[in-house]
């Protein structure tokens, strides 16, 4: 069943992981910080710490937003969510741009696109792939630290004329730590000094065995510049995603993750939300991190107004009372009173945590200059 890790639960209660492990031990449950516990156990732990285990969405605990698994018969296939990572200048942005141009839908609409931090392409076959446009490693790590697991697959871009570089290694480390499968894109194969074989060999030193080397990691030689093999890369992504058997229940109130958020003059706080389960609709009331709001309008990556967004669909949402943070969870709740209650609870928690910090002295100077 769908569960929550001890770390995640601790984060959300603003408690130390060690204390949560101790509480679990008292209940006869042995778990390490990275292990998962079920929703019922999580609820007991939450109460053990004196928090009231309020249920926000259907059966989610307020603090943990512990979401039980949806009934199997409600699950339907969803698009994979893909993040592109790699060393500086190896062609991440170029590749995202090139992949975006493969979208048959935006082609029909005249190709006017706007940057909303994430976009979805539809292949001629009708299959869809969602790309997240923002994360550098820092954003990826921040999101992961906050328990947001948004990416299903990491595309590791390695320039064929440059090979494995420090940020390539870093990206591999992040993907492995997050247990997200990698698809390798050996880019810039149009260059005269391109040496894809060297890339594949060097990858062995980092525990990545691509198929050509007898391993199982999919890898595709591409040129973002000349738009070579982009269809093959998309096929590799879809193949990998089939192995993951990605599913979600579209028939429930929406949950998602804040991909990016900003304040815009005349429009107020807006955020790009990636819906992870359920369907988000105009008029829905939500909590996002410490903020809440009501969906006033939704805009897709082509600038089109849309009325609803299902699993793996990224949308720009208008109607926030305040600006949330990237990586915040986003949960639709039943009414404004509940939304305010949860947002205020979380704001109070944060103030308390800050007060404790400054009471300890130490960091008050830092805070003064922060
Ligand atoms: P940062 O965002 O700075 O980390 O770089 P990036 O990884 O996004 O790389 P970007 O897409 O900006 O490309 C860097 C340079 O490589 C640009 O000058 C691109 O035109 C060039 N480039 C990208 N892909 C290819 C390719 O397939 N072939 C060739 N020849 N050049 C490429
Ligand atoms: Mg870039």
Query: Residue 91 annotated as binding?
Result: yes
Q: Assign 111 to helix, strand or coil.
A: coil
Query: Could you list which residues have their CB under 5 Å from ion ligand 2?
Result: 92-93
Query: Residue 115 annotated as binding?
Result: no
Nearest to 151 by CA among 9, 32, 327: 327
Nearest to 285 by CA among 325, 324, 338, 242: 338
Residue of 94, 140, 165 with the most ligand 1 atoms within 8 Å of its CB, for mutation = 94
Query: Residue 206 annotated as binding?
Result: no
Rounded distance between C-alpha atoms, residue 74 and residue 248, angstroms: 8
107-151 per-position pLDDT tens digit: 444 444 455 578 899 998 999 999 987 555 566 666 665 555 788
As for ligand 1, residues whose beta carbon falls within 6 Å of it are 86, 88-94, 187-188, 190-191, 223-225
* HEC sequence for 181-216: CEEEEEECCCCCCCCHHHHHHHHHCCCCCEHHHCCC
> What's the rounded mean pLDDT across residues 237-249?
95
Cα-to-centroid distance, 261 and ligand 1 (Å): 26
> Please, which residues have CB within 8 angstroms of residue 76's CB and are 6 or more apart in sequence?
247, 248, 249, 250
52-102 per-position pLDDT tens digit: 555 544 334 444 444 556 778 889 999 999 988 899 899 988 898 899 887
First to last CA, the chain: 42
pTM of the predicted structure, to 2 decimals: 0.78
Q: Is the pLDDT of residue 259 over 80?
A: yes
Q: What is the pLDDT of residue 284?
A: 97
Which ipTM score applies to this complex? 0.99
Cα-to-centroid distance, 226 and ligand 1 (Å): 12
Q: Of 149-153, 157-161, 200-204, 290-294, where does mean pLDDT reach its minimum?
A: 149-153
CB 113 within 8 Å of CB 302: yes
Query: Residue 134 annotated as binding?
Result: yes
Rounded distance between C-alpha atoms, residue 156 and residue 176, angstroms: 12
Residues facing 67 on adjacent strands: none
Structure tokens at 185: 């894109």
CB 312 within 8 Å of CB 78: yes
Cα-to-centroid distance, 216 and ligand 1 (Å): 27
Residue of 83, 85, 93, 185 with the most ligand 1 atoms within 8 Å of its CB, for mutation = 93
Cα-to-centroid distance, 260 and ligand 1 (Å): 23
């Amino acid at each position: 069943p769908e569960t929550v890790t001890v770390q995640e639960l601790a984060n959300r209660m603003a408690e130390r992981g060690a204390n949560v492990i101790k509480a679990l031990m008292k209940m006869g449950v042995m778990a390490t910080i990275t292990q998962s516990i079920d929703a019922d156990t999580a609820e007991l732990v939450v109460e053990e710490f004196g928090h009231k285990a309020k249920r926000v969405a259907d059966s989610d605990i307020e603090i943990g937003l512990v979401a039980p698994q949806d009934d199997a018969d409600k699950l339907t296939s969803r698009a994979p969510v893909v993040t592109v990572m790699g060393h500086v200048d190896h062609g991440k942005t170029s590749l995202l741009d090139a992949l975006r141009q493969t979208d048959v839908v935006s082609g029909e609409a005249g190709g006017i696109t706007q940057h909303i931090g994430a976009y979805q392409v539809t292949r001629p076959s009708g299959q869809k792939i969602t790309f997240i446009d923002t994360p550098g490693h820092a954003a990826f790590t921040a999101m992961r630290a906050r328990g947001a697991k948004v990416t299903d697959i990491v595309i590791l871009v390695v320039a064929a004329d440059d090979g494995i570089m420090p940020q390539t290694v870093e990206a591999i480390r992040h993907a492995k730590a997050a247990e997200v499968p990698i698809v390798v894109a050996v880019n810039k194969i149009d260059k005269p000094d391109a040496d894809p074989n060297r890339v594949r060999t060097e990858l062995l030193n980092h525990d990545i065995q691509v198929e050509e080397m007898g391993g199982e990691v999919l890898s595709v030689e591409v040129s973002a510049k000349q738009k070579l093999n982009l269809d093959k890369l998309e096929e590799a992504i879809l193949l990998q995603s089939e192995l993951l058997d990605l599913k979600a229940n579209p028939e429930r109130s929406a949950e998602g993750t804040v991909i990016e958020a900003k304040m815009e003059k005349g429009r107020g706080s807006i955020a790009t939300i990636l819906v992870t389960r359920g369907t988000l609709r105009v008029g829905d009331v939500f909590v996002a991190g410490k903020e809440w709001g009501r969906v006033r309008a939704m805009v897709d990556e082509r600038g089109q107004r849309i009325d609803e967004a299902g699993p793996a669909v990224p949308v720009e949402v208008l109607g926030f009372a305040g600006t949330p943070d990237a990586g915040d969870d986003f949960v639709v709740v039943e009414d404004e009173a509940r939304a305010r209650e949860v947002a205020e609870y979380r704001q109070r928690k944060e103030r308390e945590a800050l007060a404790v910090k400054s009471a300890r002295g130490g960091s008050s100077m830092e805070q003064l200059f922060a």
